[in-house]
Amino acid sequence: WLPAPRVSCVSEPAPSPPAPSPPAPSRRRRPLKVEYEQRGQGLKVEYEEREGDPAVKTERWEPPDWRIQLAHIREMRRSRDAPVDHMGAETCYEPGAPAPVRRFQVLVSLMLSSQTRDEVTAAAMARLRAHGCTVDGILSTDHEALGRLLHPVGFWRTKAGYLRRTCLVLQQQFCGDIPDSVEGLVGLPGVGPKMAHLAMSIAWGRVSGIGVDTHVHRVSNRLGWLRTASRTAEQTRSALEDWLPRALWGEVNWLLVGFGQQKCRPLRPLCSECLNQSCCPSDLFPGGYIFYVG
């Protein structure tokens, strides 16, 4: 006789199923996105982004020959004999005046220079300085007399009004000085981004952006320095600042303005005298687009 086996009344827990192993990472490459750029600008290849993928930094675009073109422009500008060199905003203030007055005169010359040749702006600034080109001096001059001092500057009546209103703001809010920021400068009547960036560079000695006038706008488009042709100065400024090294921002305005005044003119450009003949893609613009920016 053998004893019956003992049976436990306590049920043992069932073993838990093994944890699922993480899925193996996919070895499939992400699809490529290929874009053909304009002629002479090469090929852009990048990965398409998928949800959950980390951001992929693509290579920064830049014009293929810009360094050669810039070196040629520096060579052509070496004599510094363009109108901007001896009649631009950097020369239109009184060197011996107090610093706030010098800064104010720089701003005034920039305000007058819009859609006006440097020769006309310089002559108007000479009359204003002889009259008294200070905030208080402008405010004490009646509108009719101020207009006579500004004529024949382009849109002189409108600019006379802007100048008086700007002087009132400077007197009430800035103790007769000019703002030391782009935001403050563009808040003044008649002051746009181009004037603000140039005023920051010339008056305050700080490079805040590229000043783009009609010459910089035209030359940049002709040289192929923009990924796509732009129609406004602000588009050109944004496109240039996107790829041009910041160390060159303060120089490029002076270089391209003088180059545009002497060689790459809006009508009948002197291409036969330009050192960039072999590397200028201006054939992309049949007959040469004539861009005009105030």
CB contact at 8 A, 210 and 197? yes
- Weakest mean pLDDT among 55-59, 97-101, 224-228, 281-285: 55-59
Q: What is the pLDDT of residue 60?
A: 84
Higher pLDDT, 164 or 37: 164
Mean pLDDT of the chain: 85
Q: What are the φ/ψ torsions at residue 33 (nearest 5 degrees)?
A: -115, 120
Answer whether residue 49 shows pLDDT above 60.
no
Q: What is the 3-state secondary structure (H, E, C) of the chain?
A: CCCCCCCCCCCCCCCCCCCCCCCCCCCCCCCEEEEECCCCCCEEEEECCCCCCCCCCCCCCCCCCHHHHHHHHHHHCCCCCCHHHHHCHHHCCCCCCCHHHHHHHHHHHHHHHCCCCHHHHHHHHHHHHHHCCCHHHHHCCCHHHHHHHHCCCCCHHHHHHHHHHHHHHHHHHCCCCCCCCHHHHHCCCCCCHHHHHHHHHHHHCCCCCCCCCHHHHHHHHHHCCCCCCCCCHHHHHHHHHHHCCHHHHHHHHHHHHHHHHHCCCCCCCCHHHCCCHHHCCHHHCCCCCCCCCC
Q: Report, as residue numbers or ranges, the catalytic residues.
A: 194
Q: Mark 238-249 as b/e (b = at least 16 C-beta within 10 Å).
A: bbbeeebeeeeb
- Burial class from Cβ neighbours inside 10 Å (0-12, 13-18, 19+) for residue 136 reads exposed
Higher pLDDT, 75 or 50: 75
Q: Mean pLDDT across the stretch 7-13?
A: 47
Q: How confident is the model at residue 58 (pLDDT cuts 50, 70, 90)?
A: low
Task: Record the pTM.
Answer: 0.77
Q: Mean pLDDT across the stretch 23-34?
A: 50
